[in-house]
A = this chain, B = another copy of it.
Amino acid sequence: MAEESGVRGCMVIKPWGYGIWERIQRLMDDRIKAAGVENCYFPLFIPIGYFAKEAEHVEGFAKEMAVVTHHRLIAGEGGALVPDPEAKLEEPLIVRPTSETVIGAAMARWIQSWRDLPMLTNQWANVVRWEMRTRMFLRTSEFLWQEGHTAHTDREGAMEEMLRALELYRSFAEAELAMPVIAGEKPENERFPGAVSTYSIEAMMQDGKALQAGTSHYLGTGFSKAAGIQYQDKDGAQQFCHTTSWGASTRLIGGLIMTHGDDDGMRVPPQVAPHQVVILPMLRDNDEDEALLAYCDEIRCTLVAQHACGERVRVLVDKRPGKATQKRWAWVKKGAPLILEIGGRDAAAGQVTTLRRDRLWNEQGKPNFSASARDKFVALAAAELEDIQTSLFKEAKARHDANIVRGIDSLDALSDFYAEDKHYPGWVELAWSRPMGDELEAVVKQLKELKLTVRNTPMGSKPVAGTCIFTGKPAVELIYVARAY
């Protein structure tokens, strides 16, 4: 799906991996557009001065960024290329870590009156954050993402939008990625710098660790004040906008891999699979190949005329030279949902041999091939793809639910639960007193010693009884505690 590029922390995303990203992008973009949000594009480079205010006021401001200082190369000593000292920029440029600041400046220009609100903006782009420790798809110096930025007249409108984005991420993750998640509010210490509140979706990976897979922030008027985003209200008075921002990235592909991968490689849910059905004609370099290819192509044509999950079925006939079994295992490893192997005899008999990626092995430990009449297969293919989508979700959901532990009622019990000799211990659901400030810092420190973090407080969490195991005060809400990526 991807490989190291030779530039530290930057990856080459190969066709299958990028195809998954394209599917994610298209499906998520459809939802974003349906919500009335408009896409724009902002510059890659941001003048260093844009960050000055943020650096002064925002604690936790990340300074690890790629800095452009020159605009020309020149042959240096020994002929090697070096930055031309004559072409030094007066003001260095930063490669965007997010476009927050420039989008804020644009909104300040674009918004004059209440009539211009809400302003709902989104960008799909590459961003760069210089990471010391990188991990393919999960933490890379360059990554691809979308960042939504919206401005509203009041808190209510902004909160509604922020929660709409969170719900978009939640339902997208579950419906399209077949990845169960918990949507909820992050604790104060995990808020985006400058945010009034930060919400996230958290997915459980197969090793029990949590992955933050999307975030949505309500920024109050703090960001508007810094960027000068003002509007004239109906009474003619100048007011600051309430803003939100929300983002999801290629990290979702990392989540997908660690949710659905198995010993044989990846299993891609049909909704985001670049090809849902891969047909492998068992070519023999003889006279029969032509008829075989015609037969395969006929199946392809019948399939692509059908709809699965509301879209046309995506089918590839893999005609490349090579041994059929090698090609089969390559597609198994990539995780194509449905693999068809078709030989001359199948073609003659009007049959197909299929392999469902999510049910790869039979009870005898052999590849779980299933032969059926072509017409019957074709009639059921769309339903089968939808069934694979559902099955993958169910499997992940069962694991997710089974690995959330309740009833831990002391810090010692928590410590014991996550002791070194326990494997894949999953998440712990606790009730806590929602500490803030110094009190929260103390809790965070205790958790850190156990290599744990608070993930979030789930949406719609009912009032809870009992005592907070950290503070000893009455508990007020649920949280999830977990190890995390």
Residues of B within 8 A of A66 (CB): 45, 68, 70-71, 93
Residues of B within 8 A of A74 (CB): 63
Interface size on A, residues (CB 8 A): 66
Q: How far is the CB of A314 from chain B (nearest CB, A)?
A: 10
Question: Is A485 an interface residue when CB atoms closer than 8 A count as contact?
Answer: no
For the complex, give the distance between the alpha carbons of A151 and B51 in Å. 44
Cβ of A102 and Cβ of B64 under 8 Å apart?
no
Cβ of A81 and Cβ of B48 under 8 Å apart?
yes
- A41 contacts which of B18, B47, B64, B84 (Cβ < 8 Å)? B18
Cβ of A12 and Cβ of B73 under 8 Å apart?
no
For the complex, give the distance between the alpha carbons of A83 and B66 in Å. 9
Residues of B within 8 A of A284 (CB): none
- A83 contacts which of B67, B72, B82 (Cβ < 8 Å)? B67
**Prevailing SS type, chain A contact patch:** mixed
- The residue of chain B having its C-beta at the shortest distance from the C-beta of A75 within the complex is B55
Q: Known contacts A73-B67, A93-B66, A321-B115; is A43 also within 8 Å of B5 by CB? A: yes
Question: Is A467 an interface residue when CB atoms closer than 8 A count as contact?
Answer: no
- The residue of chain B having its C-beta at the shortest distance from the C-beta of A51 within the complex is B81
Complex interface residues of chain A between 97 and 139 (CB less than 8 A to chain B) = 102, 105-106, 115, 121, 125-126, 128, 130
Question: Is A11 an interface residue when CB atoms closer than 8 A count as contact?
Answer: yes
- A14 contacts which of B15, B40, B80 (Cβ < 8 Å)? B40
For the complex, give the distance between the alpha carbons of A114 and B128 in Å. 37
Q: Say how many copies of this protein the assembly contains.
A: 2
- The residue of chain B having its C-beta at the shortest distance from the C-beta of A80 within the complex is B52
Cβ of A6 and Cβ of B47 under 8 Å apart?
yes
For the complex, give the distance between the alpha carbons of A130 and B94 in Å. 15
- A93 contacts which of B7, B43, B84, B320 (Cβ < 8 Å)? B7
Q: How far is the CB of A82 from chain B (nearest CB, A)?
A: 8
Give the top 8 A-B pairs by smallest Cβ distance, nearest first: A10-B43, A15-B38, A13-B41, A67-B70, A71-B130, A63-B73, A5-B43, A67-B83
Q: List 16 A-B contacts (CB under 8 A).
A: A5-B43, A6-B105, A7-B43, A7-B45, A7-B47, A12-B43, A13-B42, A14-B40, A41-B144, A48-B81, A48-B82, A49-B81, A63-B72, A63-B73, A66-B71, A67-B83
Binding site for B on A (CB under 8 A): 5-7, 10-15, 18-19, 21-22, 38-49, 51-52, 55-56, 63-75, 79-84, 92-95, 102, 105-106, 115, 121, 125-126, 128, 130, 142, 144, 320-322
Given A45-B128, A56-B79, 20 other A-B contacts at CB below 8 A? A5-B102, A6-B102, A6-B105, A10-B43, A12-B41, A15-B39, A18-B40, A19-B38, A43-B142, A44-B95, A45-B142, A49-B81, A63-B74, A65-B73, A67-B70, A67-B71, A67-B72, A68-B68, A70-B92, A115-B320
